[in-house]
Structure 1
Amino acid sequence: MSQTPAFWAVIPAAGVGRRMGSAIPKQYLDLAGQTVIEHTLARFIADERISGVVVALDPADGYWNDTAFATHPRVLRVDGGAERCHSVLNALTVLANRAHEQDWVLVHDAARPCLQAADLDRLIETLRDDAVGGLLGIPVRDTMKRNDGMGRIAETVERSSLWHAYTPQMFRLGLLRQALDAAVAAGALVTDDASAMERLGYAPRLIEGHADNLKITRAEDLPLARFYLQQQGRI
């Protein structure tokens, strides 16, 4: 009898968040009395389907040990890399020592603290038997323009088939590791895991989530994230 695949989460958190203009990495900024990454991790720790969480951090990170989950038994710290894809690959390499190739891995941005439990549930239940895997996202609602490189519009892009790619992005451990290995070897610094899968010819499934699953990138995102957490009853 084949083993039922387990579910694992990977949180790449080795970045410094330069666009925030903050003295500390954005994942450690205060958000309603907790750090951003603590809110993010809490969602996965609360889900009993998640066997464990691997957090990829800068080797010189001096903030992690002060967080609520630094010594949690289901959380494992690993060294991150220069880019997101390197951090995820490092996490998968370590995870491969305790997980199976057919296990599912949910890669989620550390700076997305407002993931709804309903969206996480929809992702897992929709994809658990999928041949490829997929990701949360939302269809583009705004009119999209392409920049000509000089600050003027080159064209208006048809938006009907465009989506914003969110996280978590959920793929099999073995296949995602293979895809990221191939991307890194080719010098393709993919900015999300679906892109690595696409390079191998796979078509990940798009699953519509909620727009409040925002990625904190700029200072004005913090009060918005606080509002979303309040609306969700999490603070």
Structure 2
Amino acid sequence: MTDTKKIWAVVPAAGIGQRMEGAVPKQYLPLAGKTVLETTLEKLLELELLAGVVVAINARDTHWQKTSLVNHPKVFICLGGKERSDSVLNALNFVQSLGDGAEEAWVLVHDAARPCVTLDNIRTLIDLAFTEKCGAILASAVSDTLKRVHRNNIIAATEDRSTLWQAHTPQFFPLQKLRSALEYCREKDLPVTDEASAIEQVGGKVLVLADRRDNIKVTMPEDLAWAEFILDNQGLQV
């Protein structure tokens, strides 16, 4: 690594996973002999450079205490919020409350339901951000033809995909800059769909690093089998 600043990971995991059509939130569904969340966190914890991981969970979460990481010395929990951005901001405030170099810390924000990210790409992302001294995210260039449609599902136009990228996570920023951007967006009631969008709202620079297409987000029921295949293909024992 090219920098000695503290790095924290933040994993918003307060969602209830409505699109998974089940009573168990998607982050707690079984994957590779564990849960989706455990698989994701164990991947992050392989990064020796992390000071810790903060998981933002729902106030009514009854599953976290049953996970294998509940007593891990580098895993902390905080309460999530109504929106993803609220959960991330709560986690950043938790890190801030610990002191211990938080003023200079950087943060990797990663989806709980994105267990197939590779460590090589995370390390490259961190190096890129430190080298260029700005935030950076993993993303993949859009390859499919994109259609804009009316509400009645009639095609209105074909979009130019040449400059379009699909945002992935982790997304990596200086903790204080991200915290300030999220607070600004909350105050101004601005939409925040990912951390980069908050930084964009305050005029910050964000780089894109081409990611593997198999860094999928488990969103629909059929994604679980696909994720397990990817993990198996990546060499994880299942």
TM norm. shorter chain > 0.5 = yes
TM superposition score normalised by structure 1: 0.96
Over the matched positions of the two proteins, sequence identity in percent amounts to: 45
Which moved further from structure 2: 95-104 or 31-40? Answer: 95-104
The one-letter code of the counterpart of 2:79 is: D
1:164 aligns with 2:180: no
Q: CA-to-partner distance for each residue in 1:126-181, whole Å, 9 max, x for gaps?
A: 11233321100010000011122221111100001000000000000000000000
Cα distance in structure 1, aligned partners of 2:190 and 2:37: 27
- Structure 1 residue aligned with 2:218: 216
Matches within 5 A, 1:101-140: 101-140=103-142
Deviations 1:167-215 (A, max 9, x none): 0000000000000001111112411000000000113000011011100
Q: Which amino acid aligns with 1:69?
A: L
The residue type paired with residue 122 of structure 2 is L
Show the 5 A alignment for 1:139-158.
139-158=141-160
- Report the equivalent of 1:61: 61
Task: Give the Å deviation of 1:4.
Answer: 3.2
Which position in structure 2 is the counterpart of 1:77? 77
Note the C-alpha offset of 1:225: 0.0
2: distance between equivalents of 1:81 and 1:67?
A: 21
Which AA in structure 2 matches 1:43? K
1:174 and 1:113 mapped to 2: Cα distance? 26
* Deviation readout 1:40-93 (Å, 9 max, x if unpaired): 001111110111000000011000011111110100000000000000000000
Q: Please name the residue that 2:49 is paired with.
A: 49
- Counterpart contact for 1:183–1:190, Cα < 8 Å: yes
Name the stretch that deviates more: 74-83 or 90-99.
90-99
Q: Which runs of 4+ in 1 moved over 6 A?
A: none
Distance 2:36 2:4 in 1: 32
TM-score (structure 2 length as normaliser):
0.95
**In structure 2, the residue corresponding to 1:155 is in which secondary structure?**
strand
**Unaligned 5+ runs, structure 1:** none
**Kept in 1: contact 2:136–2:207 (CA 8 A):** yes
Tell me the equivalent position of 2:31.
31
Match of 2:192 in 1: 190
CA separation in 2, counterparts of 1:101 and 1:152?
A: 50
- Structure 1 position 101, deviation (Å): 2.3
Query: Following the alignment from structure 2 to structure 1, what is the Cα–Cα distance between the partners of residues 15 and 59?
Result: 11
1:32 Cα deviation after fit: 2.1
> Which residue number corresponds to residue 94 of structure 1?
94
Number of residue pairs matched by the alignment: 233
The one-letter amino acid paired with 2:164 is L
C-alpha contact (below 8 Å) 1:56/1:79 kept by paired residues:
yes
- Name the residue aligned to 2:209: 207
Shift of 1:102: 2.3
Unaligned runs of 5+ in 2: none
